[in-house]
Amino acid sequence: MTSGHVSAVEHRFVEVNGVRLHIAEQGRGPLVLLLHGFPECWYSWRHQFGPLAEAGYRVVAPDQRGYARSEQPEDVDAYSLLHLTGDVIGLIHALGEESAVVVGHDWGAPVAWTTALLRPDVVRGVAGLSVPHVPRGPVSQLAALRELLGDGFYQNYFQEQGLADGELAQDPAGTFRRILFGASGDSPATAPPRPWVVPEGASLLDTMQEPDRLPSWLSEDDIHAFVREFDEHGERAFTGGLNWYRNIDRNWELLAPFDGRVIDVPALFVAGDRDLVRSFPGMAELLDSLKVTAPRLHRSITLPGCGHWTQQERPEEVNAALLDFLAHLPAQV
């Protein structure tokens, strides 16, 4: 991201549903919300602000609740998908808008998909990066993956409060280097991609080595930027984001009334062929059924050689896909 684009991004705080959220924004026009994943923040979208704003859109990327500069509620139960989608709807209204296009990456993708599922009257279009829409199944996804991949599967490993929190916060710079490189298309571990599983007796970061050299899309300045953004929460820097995982079973219960509902707004999906998400059990079937669960799917795009950090690893291709999708949406009334 050029220094010009960095300086053009404006920052402020907005209170939404009793939680103080930090937002970064640039441009004027129809609203496009960019929702980051774990362990990220608004900075993950540094390559998208300028191109989308220059194309005539108002681009807003919040630090979602629990992350970076935003407030981190103490209660684990405050991080359910209903809270997170509520934040999206509240933010759209707090920005003085009645509708938005919602784009999500990693955990931001389920938030985007669910917001479109529950509030198609507010979401003009939805784009998911890395994670496709996952319809509610007969059992919680967490229970199903524990059965298939064991307690060491990272989503299950994250359930114990304080464990992963402490490991990730010991050395934030090392954490970001390991995770961002380790799940990228540049890592040997993603050829082919495989689920992130912590062997018994090992720690979380034992599974990802710190790279000798960062890939071309990630600089030390980027690492320092992520660390600075997370500084505010100290030893709890990653706790807010981990609490999202601790609500997976609860999300399955809360979304029961919407079982069987499809996403009936225009949709886009973009992911790399070396993304670890692609290796999850049942993912091939989910990808094949996207046109059924999101019948107004515009395109499903696979980026060769790209890992998990879609919009950071392949910004030009992602920006082109987003701009094409936005251009094909019905005109805003």
| Per-residue model confidence as pLDDT tens digits over 299-328 | 999 999 999 999 999 999 999 999 999 999
Residues with catalytic function: 106, 308
Per-residue pLDDT tens digits for 107-154: 999 999 999 999 999 999 999 999 999 999 999 989 999 999 999 999
Count of residues making up the chain: 333
pLDDT at 4: 42
Q: How confident is the model at residue 7 (pLDDT cuts 50, 70, 90)?
A: low
Strands (E), the chain: 10-16, 19-26, 31-35, 58-62, 100-105, 123-129, 267-272, 297-303
Per-residue pLDDT tens digits for 99-108: 999 999 999 9
Q: How confident is the model at residue 2 (pLDDT cuts 50, 70, 90)?
A: very low
pLDDT at 130: 98
Mean pLDDT of 273-283: 96
Beta bridge partners of 32: 59, 101
Residues contacting residue 171 through CB under 8 Å, at least 6 positions apart: none
Percent of the chain with pLDDT over 70: 98
Per-residue pLDDT tens digits for 158-199: 999 999 999 999 999 999 999 999 999 999 999 999 999 999
Q: How confident is the model at residue 206 (pLDDT cuts 50, 70, 90)?
A: confident
Burial of 260 (0-12, 13-18, 19+ CB in 10 A): exposed
Q: What is the pTM of this model?
A: 0.96
pLDDT at 208: 85
pLDDT at 3: 39
Calculate the average pLDDT of the chain.
95
